[in-house]
Chain A
Amino acid sequence: MKKILGMTILLVVLCVAINLANDRFMSAVNQQNLTRQIALLAIFAIGEGIVILSGGIDLSVGSVIAFAGLFVAYAVSSFGMSPWTASLIVLGVCALIGLSHGALVTKLKLQPFIVTLCSMLVLRGLSRGLTQDETMGFGDKFESFRRLGNGDWLGIPTPVVILVVIAIIAHFFMRYTVYGRYLYAIGRNPDAARYSGVKVDRMQTGAYLACALLAGVAGILHASYTNSVQPATTGNAYELYAIAAAVLGGCSMRGGEGTVLGIVIGASVMRVMYNGIILVGIPTFYEFAVIGLVILIGVVADASVKRRAARVSKSARQPAKA
């Protein structure tokens, strides 16, 4: 909880600072645009976060996003399929991808890093091959589908509405069901969780399933929003953004720590920084350097706070023991 408070303060400070530098930050247009960007990132960051806090990692997120977007655009242009039907189908395919990650990790005991790294390469290659590396879009047709990414609902960008729904469901799942508790337990210590009766394999598979599905949703939204999906570049390095957002939001790479709310705030910080870099006028070439440094500072600050907390609770323990 303290961590979320800290991140919220950082977020507010960032916003205020950027707004002081350039008051266009708070303009309705920029806010609409910014929150839409946040939503597009946060949706798959939640999936990544769930995998991370169950003790795994998913590197295939960016490729799944590209694959999902291309699949919809391709099915629409080549087979005349409705984009909605195509979206449903691609979500089914994403579910299969997630399940196979889970099976490879839990049944064959492969390392998640390797499994999802391979999956990242395979899906990227397949996407490029099947589309002959051609950029795909919907042109000016399928307006209703394109509104999914671009439209709004009562002035709130549609992706934001979708994010809110997903975040609430994920939050309740992680916080108020026993399954959420199991995932945290597995992230801390999968063996002890198993000895307590947790179905570790099933829960871990579920985490990869959720991650792939959310990446699929993000991919569909992305295609709808940009109306142009590039097989070679769309979604590149998005898994790293997702990991960064999750870590900023309080997930530990060792697993067992993190909250959905934290991940959403982490994603917001990422996007606000990016937005700020443009508004403040830092050349965008430096984008990565700035984001990387801010994350590093955040993690260092967190580690030192934790070390102090550990010292305090240790010294508090001493008299009790004596």
Chain B
Amino acid sequence: MEGITKSFPGVRALDRVDLELYPGEVLGLIGENGAGKSTLMRILAGVYPANEGRILIDGQPVRISSVHDSMALGISIIHQELNLADNLDIATNIFLGREFTVSPFKVVRSRALADEAKKLIASVGLDAPVTTPVEKLSPGRQQLVEIAKALSMSARILVLDEPTSSLSPKEAESLFAVMSKLKAEGVSMIYISHRLPEVEEICDRVVVLRDGSRVGELKRGEISRDAMVRLMVGRDIARFFPDAGKRQGEPALAVRGFRPADVEGTFDFAVRQGEILGVFGLVGAGRTELARSLFGVEPYSGGEVTICGRPVNIRSPLDAIRHGIGMVPEDRKYLGVILEMAVRENISLPDFCSGCSKIGWLDERREARIAEEQVKALDIRTPGLAQNVEFLSGGNQQKVALAKWLAIGPKVLILDEPTRGIDVGSKSEIYRLIRRLADEGLAVIMISSEMEEILGLSDRVLVVHEGRQKGILEREEAGEESIMRLATGGTT
């Protein structure tokens, strides 16, 4: 791939990226979230076209304008979320849409299909009957079915996007074994992963992307975790963020032995009034689970929570709200706000809910007052309070999602990816807003997968790795490398 450039409205996702892949090579492609790895691979797969640049295979320029084209050229991508029809069996999945049929009624030749499928799964080391429904297989074995499917299309270039994120260590090992076998057969692979030790173990070469550009390459002997981390991060981030906070008060929220639902480890930490506690971890590390359990969306399976020194029991979002916790969830459009309702109605909802022990009349005057205050305080740009939130820009929608909590005067605010999908200008504005709220005495827990934002805004940083609290770094000791090391499973 040469000089690949891709712009989306408002963002330049890739900027003249070159990528070369040799036969029988495993190439690691790494970078932070949003660095452009997936975009680059989607262009290779023909999901969307590049604005500039060209793709050559065996030295010949090729046109890839659809997924069909890329398949015909022997390119196969195995995504993070598998693309299998759960209820169908292995053989059907492998040949879905490409069944061998007998004309004229397109009767499927099941026997031939099964025989062929048997050979394919044997070649990837899968030993299940081909009639097993895919849903009965473990994630690791499902992945093997995907690979078998790719091989059935005589793939020469295999892209694996975070293949081990849902695998057990043992399953990962057997995947690597399959990969080296394929490598010996001359298949080239691009391996995308956040798990640097794995990259170190299996890749022949590593290319690092940052902010849509290729920032470096590491050859076999140079690959080390430190070298990769250094390339992945490392940039000027000071100006974009507000100054550090002024003072910190008493602990507003503290957890001991706290164990969120669906997470293995426990958490022990406290957030003080006026403090912004950054929570960093790679995708799937358990950050969002922590937030959801703190807010009562999912039950936590152990530990205690105290708010301003008093132990509390949080079993539902309403409990959390009544104890003064607000949360801006990661998925703004589906959880943070109700798009088809007015700005006014969105902002007043938690206020009504937390006070609904009273008779329950809809106090529209109070609603209008609250909404007006917040729109003014957060400078929400809307034509009016009655405007539906769906018609606001992303940044203003996010402000509404914040405003509804500020309206109840919370003690603790949990922000999950507060600037996801928001343009750069609004980002900076939201950072300043968060800092201002903290300075007014609010305790803020800010979950983010953007290193920049964690470093620029946090007073302390809690690092999560594979469902466990790996450590809390003070502002002075929190650097990109120290955080990344913890987040990828290393020690301080």
Task: Tell me whether A178 and B350 are in contact (CB under 8 A).
Answer: no
Does chain B have a CB within 8 A of A180?
yes
Give the complex CA separation of A188 and B340 in angstroms.
7
Task: Tell me whether B360 and A177 are in contact (CB under 8 A).
Answer: yes
Task: Tell me whether A195 and B329 are in contact (CB under 8 A).
Answer: yes
Q: Given A178-B356, A179-B360, does the pair A198, B334 have CB atoms closer than 8 Å?
A: no
Task: Tell me whether B349 and A181 are in contact (CB under 8 A).
Answer: yes
Does chain B have a CB within 8 A of A189?
yes
Task: Tell me whether B349 and A191 are in contact (CB under 8 A).
Answer: no
Give the complex CA separation of A256 and B388 in angstroms.
13
Q: Given A196-B404, A197-B318, A197-B353, does the pair A180, B335 have CB atoms closer than 8 Å?
A: no
- 30 sampled A-B residue pairs with Cβ under 8 A: A177-B362, A178-B353, A178-B356, A179-B360, A180-B362, A181-B349, A181-B352, A185-B341, A188-B338, A189-B334, A189-B339, A189-B340, A191-B334, A191-B335, A192-B335, A192-B337, A194-B297, A195-B295, A195-B317, A195-B335, A196-B317, A196-B350, A196-B404, A197-B318, A197-B349, A197-B350, A199-B318, A320-B381, A320-B383, A321-B393
Chain B residues near A141 (CB-CB < 8 A)? none
Chain B residues near A280 (CB-CB < 8 A)? none
Does chain B have a CB within 8 A of A285?
no
Does chain A have a CB within 8 A of B345?
yes
Give the complex CA separation of A181 and B339 in angstroms.
15
Chain B residues near A321 (CB-CB < 8 A)? 393
B389 to chain A, nearest CB (A): 10
Q: Mark A147-181, 1 if CB is under 8 A from B, else 0.
A: 00000000000000000000000000001111111
The one of B316, B336, B360 in contact with A192, judged by C-beta atoms closer than 8 angstroms, is B336
The main secondary structure of chain A at its interface with chain B is helix
The 4 lowest CB-CB distance pairs between A and B, nearest first, are: A197-B353, A196-B349, A197-B321, A197-B318
Does chain B have a CB within 8 A of A184?
yes
Does chain A have a CB within 8 A of B105?
no
Task: Tell me whether A189 and B318 are in contact (CB under 8 A).
Answer: no
Assuming A176-B361, A189-B339, A192-B335, what are 14 further A-B pairs, CB within 8 angstroms? A175-B362, A176-B362, A177-B361, A178-B360, A178-B361, A181-B345, A189-B338, A193-B338, A195-B317, A196-B317, A197-B354, A198-B318, A256-B341, A314-B391
Chain A residues near B316 (CB-CB < 8 A)? 194, 199
B423 to chain A, nearest CB (A): 11
Does chain B have a CB within 8 A of A317?
yes
Does chain A have a CB within 8 A of B343?
no
Give the complex CA separation of A53 and B381 in angstroms.
30
Chain A residue, CB-CB nearest to B367: A181
Does chain B have a CB within 8 A of A313?
yes
Q: Mark B381-408, 1 if CB is under 8 A from A, else 0.
A: 1010000000101000000000010000
Interface set of B (CB-CB < 8 Å, partner A): 295, 297, 316-318, 321, 327, 329, 334-341, 345, 349-350, 352-354, 356, 360-362, 381, 383, 391, 393, 404
The one of A177, A185, A314 in contact with B349, judged by C-beta atoms closer than 8 angstroms, is A185
Task: Tell me whether B362 and A185 are in contact (CB under 8 A).
Answer: no
Give the complex CA separation of A256 and B342 in angstroms.
12
Chain A residues near B352 (CB-CB < 8 A)? 178, 181-182
Chain B residues near A193 (CB-CB < 8 A)? 338, 349
Give the complex CA separation of A188 and B356 in angstroms.
20
Q: How large is the interface on A (under 10, 10 to 19, 20 to 34, 35 or more residues)?
A: 20 to 34
Chain A residues near B354 (CB-CB < 8 A)? 197
Task: Tell me whether A184 and B341 are in contact (CB under 8 A).
Answer: yes
Q: Considering residues A179, A180, A181, A188, which has the most beta carbons from chain B within 10 angstroms of its beta carbon? A: A181
Q: Mark A188-215, 1 if CB is under 8 A from B, else 0.
A: 1101111111110000000000000000
Give the complex CA separation of A194 and B338 in angstroms.
11
B312 to chain A, nearest CB (A): 15
Give the complex CA separation of A176 and B334 in angstroms.
26
Q: Considering residues A176, A188, A192, which has the most beta carbons from chain B within 10 angstroms of its beta carbon? A: A192
B480 to chain A, nearest CB (A): 32
Chain B residues near A188 (CB-CB < 8 A)? 338-341
Chain B residues near A178 (CB-CB < 8 A)? 352-353, 356, 360-362
Q: Considering residues A196, A199, A314, which has the most beta carbons from chain B within 10 angstroms of its beta carbon? A: A196
Chain A residue, CB-CB nearest to B392: A317
B409 to chain A, nearest CB (A): 14
B375 to chain A, nearest CB (A): 15
Chain B residue, CB-CB nearest to A195: B335
Give the complex CA separation of A92 and B329 in angstroms.
41
